[in-house]
Structure 1
């Protein structure tokens, strides 16, 4: 039962992610290089999804969409490394992890705390805190080392998971409007779990989430209940002051993506001092591992955000249905 509920939470997250985030070239050290790279990714993703749809393969559609995400953020790491800490990229990375079967392994996500030109709220820290609370719920309720939940324990597990998510949102970014950084998603989780957070006060008083139920402690050290939530912030997301003047991971770096099992080598585009035009021989990506991912950036037409967005919406719908069908039948 719990597994079905957790899959429902994943599908709910995808529904929430229907408001898609797209990467743009404004302010990039190599704007034209990014646009060309993104155009190639968009064209390859669209063609891949068209073929998968013709074959009536939902899993192939998922793979196409996820490869498109990887291609886009690799393009960004190459040509827009000066903007990777900004809200735009951090929102995009969080959306990718919502939509695709990857665990971490995204360049520059989360951003280092207080990095120059970074998002006013560390969205990566919030995302992984919420994700961790879901994993802790699974363990607490009997799918892990703590045994099968009995008595009031199931409600305690659920309420601690909800509290961990909400407490993380309030403590990591206390000045930010919580609805902008995941609170509305948690409210959908409450519905999926059939447990309003407002009903959790007695269970949070009965159980110590850490010592009794095995949860990891939350960033602020307090598992809030509805009755003792701090005042909500009202700030919107914005980028703090500062400038990134060189690629934080170096001019060449590699990482392995757990979603497609490929190792990518990112070569950052170089920039002339004091300008935003690239030198000859700009950034590129190469990949080793399993086949099928979008990896290289040849010259191409202007980027097509509409195509990218449509592909992600199709991915979200198909992935929601595929997850529910696979685990809930």
Structure 2
């Protein structure tokens, strides 16, 4: 999946943040094996640096050093390295970071921090094995889990976009074969509008209390819904059965049951992201974590800290901000007490999604 602009991500800000050691998205002091976790990340960063320096455009050591290893910086300042190359290296890094969490921070694998790590992996890796990811999506009511299950949102969005493509290329869903050009065009536009509405439902319906701006809602509107003329979708959504006839209600298409129209949008949530109470006392995976990277490469990670004694993190309950009442203008305020400064959201609008919808819209205008 390709990477595009990122939304600001609110993660839990612990009261001891200034004294804690931040490792990736995590406060390493909260991990079962803090030193092992920090050491693992250091090794991963070394692997990433070697990957970029040795493989991207004949060597990118100077660029890597000047950007401090930031992929977005290298893509902007050193385009000669090649975005595809740096993304491939970032894919490997994010996969190894998942290993680090399973090995030394297994007590936080349902947290907002772990969700952000997995979302990075899905963002940078092409054709990842989604079913093989560990602890993903987070089970309902899991201890020490993120207040918003961003894994469920991302999974729904992925299925919705796939269904939009299937719907747009299959004009037999409503019981007749279409030959009239105008009818085919209208049907294709209905597929796009149903997908737009389903995306809104996936975000607001999954986490109704969370600020939608923290869940990439602004990016979806700016990158797809507004350019795709979401404001004109009302008649199509009233005429067509998105959930039934056009298939968006199927579980393998996102399982959406509520379809909003431009004139009737959900109210924005007001809370930031935070981790709920609870403790994972033993590794969910047991002594060995095994998961599949892509379709054939299996990662097997031994958990040396399986006998460690862990304590839970105290839930903050999330901070409220003043919220807009319409989904088309998402909340932009940041609840500072629950945000790690500088953290970026991994919930994104993938560029392949933008390209796919643009392609459909172009075909509809021919």
Asked if these proteins are the same fold (TM beyond 0.5), I'd say: yes
Q: How many Å separate the matches in 2 of 1:274 and 1:67?
A: 29
Q: CA RMSD in A?
A: 3.4
3-state SS of 2:298 partner? strand
* Structure of higher RCO (CA pairs closer than 8 Å, 6+ residues apart): 1
**Does 2:130 match 1:114?**
no
Once the 2 structures are TM-superposed, how far is the Cα of residue 237 of structure 1 from its aligned partner? 0.5
CA distance in 1, matches of 2:307, 2:272: 31
Deviation of 1:320 after TM superposition, in Å, equals: 6.6
Deviations along 1:219-252, whole A, 9 cap, x unmatched?
5621111222222211110000111101112121
CA-CA distance at 1:152 after TM superposition: 0.8
Aligned residue in 2 for 1:37: 40
Which sections of structure 2, spanning at least 5 residues, go unmatched? 12-23, 59-80, 313-342, 360-366
Q: TM-score, normalised by structure 2?
A: 0.67
Helix, strand or coil for the counterpart of 1:138?
helix
Residue 246 of structure 1 pairs with residue 236 of structure 2? no
Residue 91 of structure 1 pairs with residue 125 of structure 2:
no
Distance 1:19 1:221, change over 3 A: closer
Q: State how 1:125-204 maps to structure 2 within 5 Å.
A: 125-142=152-169, 150-190=184-224, 194-204=227-237
Look up the match of 1:281: none
Number of the residue aligned with 1:23: 25
Task: Work out whether residues 164 and 192 of structure 2, in 8 Å CA contact, stay in contact via their aligned partners in 1.
Answer: yes
Alpha-carbon separation, structure 2, partners of 1:135 and 1:209: 14
Give the conservation status (yes or no) of the 8 Å contact 1:97–1:103: no
1:54 aligns with 2:90: no
Distance 1:121 1:240 in 2: 10
Partner of 1:208: 241
Say if 2:37 and 2:104, in contact at 8 Å, map to a contact too: yes
- Going by fraction, where is helix more abundant, 1 or 2? 1
**Distance change (3 Å), C-alpha of 1:36 and 1:143:** farther
Q: For structure 1, list consecutive stretches of 5 or more residues without a partner in the other structure.
A: 1-9, 277-308
Match of 1:299 in 2: none
Return closer, same or farther for 1:112/1:19 CA change in 2, 3 Å cut-off. Answer: closer
The alpha-carbon deviation at position 19 of structure 1 amounts to: 7.6
